[in-house]
Amino acid sequence: MKTYHGSCFCGAVGFEADGDLAEGTMRCNCSFCRKMRYWEMRLPDPDGFRLTRGDAYLAETPRAQDDGIDMHHWFCVRCGTRLWTQGDIAEMGGRFLQVCVSALDDAGQDELVAAPVWWADGAHDNWWNPAPEIRHL
């Protein structure tokens, strides 16, 4: 496990996240993740996330529909950088926090290339199973 440091493009928001890219990352086929090009690393413990600066610059993308799913996507209002997703979904193991790999400042190129990717079928709210097609993601 490693403590990664992350930030938005303009530097207004910063965070620390305890995780391990070698343990895997996730890409999803849902419409939100496709449009945002999300690539995330799930933290083994959601409490392993610490916001270090920029609380005033955070905003949450509203969900397209009120479907009762507890999932929140956070970004910087100054520059638009996607930062993390958090929520509580029983099928995903309960409470979770996933940081956007693109926001990690100290993830080395070799770590990124070697990081396994789980291709989730979020398009059908079926994240715990693989997406049937991934070539477009």
**Residue 14: enclosing H or E segment and its boundaries?**
strand 14-19
What secondary structure letter does DSSP report for 111?
A: H
Going along the chain from its start, the domains and CATH numbers come out as: 2-130 (2.170.150.70)
Q: In the prediction, which pLDDT does 32 show?
A: 85
What secondary structure letter does DSSP report for 104?
A: B
pTM for the complete prediction?
0.90
Q: Which of 95, 108, 93, 86 is nearest to 40 (CA)?
A: 86
Task: Give the separation between CA 75 and CA 84, rounded to whole angstroms.
Answer: 7
Q: Which of 104, 126, 90 is nearest to 16 (CA)?
A: 104
- Cα end-to-end distance, the chain, whole Å: 27
Mean per-residue pLDDT of the chain: 92
Tens of pLDDT, residue by residue over 5-64, are 999 999 999 999 999 999 999 999 988 888 888 899 999 999 999 999 999 999 998 876
Q: Token pair for residue 62?
A: 């509203």
